[in-house]
Structure 1
Amino acid sequence: MPRALIAYVHFVDGMNRRIGRFAMYLLYVIMAIMVWSMVTKAFHIPALWTLEMAQFTLVAYFMLGAPWSLQTDVNVRMDLIYARFTHKGQALTDIFTVFCLMFYLGVMLYGAFDSTVYAFEMGERNPSAWRPVLWPLKSIITLAFGLMLLQSVAILIRDVATLRGEKI
């Protein structure tokens, strides 16, 4: 495999690993928000922002962790037939399915980008009592779809290397 492709795979894997490890700790942020919500409700001064902030943080946790889960191959797969294939057979199957994944991610990235631009231009806000702006959340979603697309290209490169009998 060309060195540039190997460098790309290592760069994307490293970046998604670091972002995924950061996202892993967002679970503690969600817990802190929910504890704060419980404390303020106990003193009869409930905060308006806690439920939505916990939901937004959960979206960031889920979306930023998705490229890392794609990288570590912990995504859901039907192993009834796939597990019986050789490594090259699995790589060939993965090459077919990764193109389907890349098409899907491309459509989702296009929609997320369009929605993010709209949120910036219109100053879109969530229709609630707190009324937070939505562009930060939509930007995170757009970033996550972009990272998943980059990771799927890295998976494609790795599978092609497996078919060639190489290891990345």
Structure 2
Amino acid sequence: MMRSRQLPFPRGALLISPWTDLSGDGANAGLKHAGSLALEQRSAGRDYLKPDMIAWIAKLARGDMPADRVPVSPMYAEGSLEGMPPIFVVYGEDEVLRGQIEAFCDTWSGKGASVQARGVAGGVHVPVMFNFCHGPSHDVLREVSAVFGAPSKEAAAGEKQGLLAAPSCC
């Protein structure tokens, strides 16, 4: 859409636990490409995002639109993605949608997009929400800052004073 309207692209995009494929039927709606990890998560319960909730939301979100096409499911973008701004993807290694997110990154990279994926060890869906008590989630925020630019002087001063130090809990 941005290309067809000749709008300028942003310098980059940050995707945090993106849900990239809402296709599928019944209890598997929204879980296509999620792989065996989604099945493991059903029994292990590590992620707070549950497969039955994913299926319910997928059906509501896609409505009457075709689930296996853009804009509902970016996984199915057609044509070359060369020239897109760099995309940085953060996801939890223990989240239900991990397999789908990794498949999306591989698919878009294969179409020419510049995708950098970063799985957070021990992270669940949207791991950066837990940066206050989960060291690896906090660390990925530093990495995001490095990718998208230096922090402001105020943020740097706060870090020097220990205000943004990695948590020691959990």
TM-score category (smaller protein):
under 0.3
Quick check: which has more Rg, 1 or 2? 1
What TM-score comes out, normalization by structure 1 length?
0.24
TM-score computed with the length of structure 2 as normaliser: 0.23
| Greater helix share, structure number | 1
